[in-house]
Amino acid sequence: MTQPSADASRALTRLAEDEVIFRDSVYEFADREIRPLVHDMDEHAKIPRRLIDQLFELGILGVEIPESYGGAGASFFHSVLAVEAVSRVDPSIGVLIDVQNTLVNNAVMRWGNTDVKQRYLPKLAASMVGAYCLSEAGSGSDAFALQTRASEVADGYKINGRKLWITNGNEADLFIVFANLNPELGYRGITAFLVERDTPGFIVGKKEDKLGIRASSTCELLFEDCVVSRDRVLGEVGKGYKVAIETLNEGRIGIGAQMIGLAQGALDHTIRYTKERKQFGKAIADFQGVQFQLARMAIDVESARLMVYNSARLRDAGLPFLHEAAMCKVLSSEVAERVASMAVNLYGGYGFVRDYPVEKLFRDAKIGQIYEGTSNMQLLTIAKQLLS
């Protein structure tokens, strides 16, 4: 086996150190600025605009956007680290960062022409929140059964339909909307459109009252003769299915990062609590049974983290990562639920009340097995790959 040169080894070490510094700096920001807001954001189901502005100022809502467009010009892996670090404090903010970076920004960078990039990337790096609009009432796991329709008109395209479960719906000013322009062609008629919030005929409807990640808005979107110009097509007409598939593959790694951040946060809280909580004259952390449960939690978190990181590395290296992305999403979401549940158990009665943080993380964890591709759909992807 060829060994790396000393210079290459030093370069890899510096890269790893820089990534750790980046992740830790984002976590320090989240711990300082986001943590004091977590309870109220969950209670009122709303993210303060000033916090979103701070995220833009920090650069973590435009991680991969090139510096020439005002972004940080960093890697997909850095986006994953940012989602993980923030989700350790509040997964609601973690998913806002994830959707912005792994779905919206990536789609515009990959599929937008020069004019689209010049129009939107500087805004997405500085102040414009984005949303990704694929799901509908009858189109969840069967994403290409969508009923939202587009038709050609003199000024461009007219969109009619309804979208559900749209993350960032309340905060977004730019929406990537998937509609079928030629239903007779099936999924090959699907086209991605860029719709701005103030477009006539577009309405942000009901905001869902959710179990977890409550601060993150999840909204219904309505399109009633919503006309967009021809230059608002993202990619090519009839190639929206390709935009959706390739972007969501990356988004699943982002959800994996959200889930490992959540799990790490639950473990952090639990370690602190078990050192403070006394029973039978000593801290419960001194009991071997508790120590073994903490050790299992740590093993789970680190295993999921390595799988998420591996998927992100493969993506950045331009190597196939579909199989790994599906695996990391399944594992990380299961780990998040399991670790958060054990955190509640170890907190005892205090874990069941909202005055303590692990109850929220337990609620937040459930969505990981549902959105951006359910666990069953990921298992199907993995099995097909194994049997091909």
* pLDDT over 80 at 237, yes or no: yes
Domain that holds residue 143: 131-239
How high is the pLDDT of residue 142?
Answer: 85
Q: Which residues are catalytic?
A: 372
Q: Both 255 and 365 in a single domain?
A: yes
Which of 71, 106, 129 terminates a domain? The answer is 129
Q: What is the pTM of this model?
A: 0.95
Instruction: Over range 155-181, report the average pLDDT.
Output: 97
Q: Which two three-digit tokens encode residue 214?
A: 């409550």
Average pLDDT, the chain: 95
CB atoms within 10 A of CB 180: 25
Q: Both 120 and 147 in a single domain?
A: no
Total structural domains within the chain = 3
pLDDT in tens, 238-255: 999 999 999 999 999 999
* pLDDT over 70 at 266, yes or no: yes
Q: Both 15 and 85 in a single domain?
A: yes
* pLDDT over 60 at 180, yes or no: yes
Residue 120: CATH number of its domain = 1.10.540.10
Radius of gyration over every alpha carbon of the chain, rounded to an integer in angstroms: 21
Q: Both 251 and 381 in a single domain?
A: yes
Instruction: Over range 355-380, report the average pLDDT.
Output: 97
Q: Both 252 and 383 in a single domain?
A: yes
Q: Both 325 and 230 in a single domain?
A: no
pLDDT in tens, 268-321: 999 999 999 999 999 999 999 999 999 999 999 999 999 999 999 999 999 999
How high is the pLDDT of residue 140?
Answer: 81
How high is the pLDDT of residue 1?
Answer: 47
How high is the pLDDT of residue 15?
Answer: 64
Residue 19 within any structural domain of the chain: yes
How high is the pLDDT of residue 143?
Answer: 76
Determine whether 341 is exposed, middle or buried from the number of CB atoms within 10 Å of its CB (0-12, 13-18, 19+): middle
Nearest to 170 by CA among 30, 35, 48: 48
Q: Both 82 and 139 in a single domain?
A: no
If phi over 0 gives left and psi between -120 and 50 gives alpha, with beta otherwise, what is residue 279?
beta
Taking a C-beta distance cutoff of 8 angstroms, is the pair 372, 255 a contact?
Answer: yes
Q: Both 170 and 283 in a single domain?
A: no
Residue 253: CATH number of its domain = 1.20.140.10
Residue 1 within any structural domain of the chain: no
How high is the pLDDT of residue 42?
Answer: 98
SS3 letters for 95-151? HHHHHHHHHHHHHHHHHCCHHHHHHHHHHHHHCCCEEEECCECCECCCHHHCCCEEE
Which of 85, 100, 129 terminates a domain? The answer is 129
Instruction: Over range 206-224, report the average pLDDT.
Output: 98
Chain-centre distance for alpha carbon 376:
19
Which of 180, 214, 239 terminates a domain? The answer is 239
How high is the pLDDT of residue 11?
Answer: 65
How high is the pLDDT of residue 9?
Answer: 59
Instruction: Over range 73-88, report the average pLDDT.
Output: 97
Instruction: Over range 214-218, report the average pLDDT.
Output: 98
SS3 letters for the chain? CCCCCHHHHHHHHHHHHHHHHHHHHHHHHHHHHHHHHHHHHHHHCCCCHHHHHHHHHHCCCCCCCCHHHCCCCCCHHHHHHHHHHHHCCCHHHHHHHHHHHHHHHHHHHHHCCHHHHHHHHHHHHHCCCEEEECCECCECCCHHHCCCEEEEECCEEEEEEEEEEEECCCCCCEEEEEEECCHHHHHHHEEEEEEECCCCCEEEEEECCCCCCCCCCEEEEEEEEEEECHHHEECCCCCHHHHHHHHHHHHHHHHHHHHHHHHHHHHHHHHHHHHHCEECCEEHHHCHHHHHHHHHHHHHHHHHHHHHHHHHHHHHCCCCCHHHHHHHHHHHHHHHHHHHHHHHHHHHHHHHCCCCCHHHHHHHHHHHHCCCCCHHHHHHHHHHHHHC
Q: Both 93 and 190 in a single domain?
A: no
